[in-house]
């Protein structure tokens, strides 16, 4: 099994290597790939130092699976080339997510739609993954009518340069900035670029990707995405209105029984999900589960996950695991 990791020196790429190692994915040959300026650098994998190669060299090696986390433009250019060589590409960028011919996959929810013919598979946005992990079992049972979500997103979602900006600001050091304002001691209602409709791309990803994954084009969704001075883990306040009536014990039962979701909900003992709790874990944590008394058939949820793991790297590796166990690669 030859596995390429494209973008191996970035935050998500390095996490992909870590997750492949932790989950004992059967990698006979690892092919770490990065830009030309990173070629020759070494990455650690299973107690070995492996040199980073350029894209053309990786293509020549014809990997079985390629995990992409190098940005949309790289994916658009190279994912079809890898696919043409027989490689199954699992892409972490936004390049292919809304392509009607490309599956957008969270394995616990819709892995069963994958086939051997799927040579490019899209990994959803980090904030979408953690939300749909909690909403999927509820939607199956009660059918979601409307979602209102506000996110509180870590700077790691922007990348290493954003982490550096936050750390520099905390130390009083002048340095390069990726945000238009200070992020330390601040919150920016500005994730990704603004669109003509007044929403950001991140907010519209939550809308469009959720509909695609849950297979409901008519689902009403509105989102506000906020960047917060946290260095790991995204949080979301989610208000959900259902078409069908429910009992609160059914909400708890469905969430407690869904794989990959962990209910942490004991406010009397100050137990609720937090980014610090989620760091380094693959579960999606949900708490503050309570009925919305202002609206019929509605609940409030607080959802937290490590955006570099389940929000990106772990979900991609889980897709690769699904392909392997179902003989699709």
The helix/strand/coil state of 235 is strand
Q: CB neighbours (10 Å) of residue 73?
A: 10
Helix (H) or strand (E) holding 310: none
CB 149 within 8 A of CB 129: no
Bridge partners of residue 50, in order along the sequence: 43
The answer to whether residue 126 is catalytic is yes
Instruction: Tell me if residue 234 is catalytic.
Output: yes
Strands (E), 9-53: 29-33, 42-45, 48-51
Which of 139, 181, 187, 234 is labelled catalytic?
A: 234
- 257 and 286 Cβ atoms separated by less than 8 Å: no
E strands, 154-248, in order: 220-227, 234-242
Q: How far apart are CA 93 and CA 69, in angstroms?
A: 6
User: Please, are residues 157 and 234 in contact by the beta-carbon 8 Å criterion?
Assistant: yes
Joined tokens for residue 146:
């409307």
Catalytic residue among 126, 139, 187, 326: 126
Q: At what angle do helices 248-256 and 126-142 cross, to 10 degrees?
A: 130
Nearest to 254 by CA among 135, 151, 172: 135
Q: Which token pair is 150?
A: 């506000």
- β-bridge pairing 234-242 and 144-153: antiparallel
Nearest in space to 27 (alpha carbons), one of 48, 12, 41? 48
Longest dimension (CA), the chain: 60
Q: Which value, in Å, is the radius of gyration of the alpha carbons in the chain? A: 20
Residues tagged active-site = 126, 234
């Amino acid at each position: 099994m030859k596995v390429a990791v494209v973008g191996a020196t970035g935050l998500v790429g390095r996490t992909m290597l870590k997750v492949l190692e932790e989950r004992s994915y059967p990698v006979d040959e690892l092919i770490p790939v990065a830009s030309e300026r990173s070629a020759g650098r070494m990455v650690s994998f299973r107690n070995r130092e492996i040199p980073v190669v350029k894209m053309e060299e990786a293509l020549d090696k014809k990997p079985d699976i390629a995990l992409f986390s190098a940005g949309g433009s790289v994916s658009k250019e190279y994912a079809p080339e890898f696919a043409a060589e027989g490689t199954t590409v699992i892409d972490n960028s936004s390049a292919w997510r809304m392509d009607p011919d490309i599956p957008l996959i969270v394995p616990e929810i819709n892995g069963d739609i994958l086939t051997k013919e799927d040579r490019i598979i899209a990994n959803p946005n980090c904030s979408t993954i953690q939300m749909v992990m909690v909403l999927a079992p509820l939607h199956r049972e009660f059918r979601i009518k409307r979602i209102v979500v506000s996110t509180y997103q870590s700077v790691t979602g922007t990348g290493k340069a954003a982490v550096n900006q936050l750390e520099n600001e905390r130390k009083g050091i002048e340095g390069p900035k990726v945000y238009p304002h200070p992020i330390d001691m601040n919150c920016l209602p500005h994730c990704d670029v603004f669109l003509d409709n007044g929403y950001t791309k991140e907010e519209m990803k939550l809308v469009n990707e959720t509909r695609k994954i849950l297979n409901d084009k008519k689902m009403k969704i509105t989102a506000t995405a906020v960047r917060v001075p946290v260095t790991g883990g995204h949080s979301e306040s989610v208000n959900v209105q259902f078409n069908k009536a429910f009992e609160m014990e059914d909400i708890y039962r469905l969430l407690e029984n869904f794989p990959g979701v962990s209910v942490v909900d004991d406010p009397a003992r100050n137990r609720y999900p937090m980014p610090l709790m989620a760091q380094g874990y693959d579960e999606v944590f949900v708490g503050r589960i309570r009925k919305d008394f202002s609206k019929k058939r509605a609940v409030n949820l607080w959802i937290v996950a490590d955006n570099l793991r389940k929000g990106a790297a772990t979900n991609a590796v889980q897709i690769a695991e699904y392909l392997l166990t179902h003989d699709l690669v």
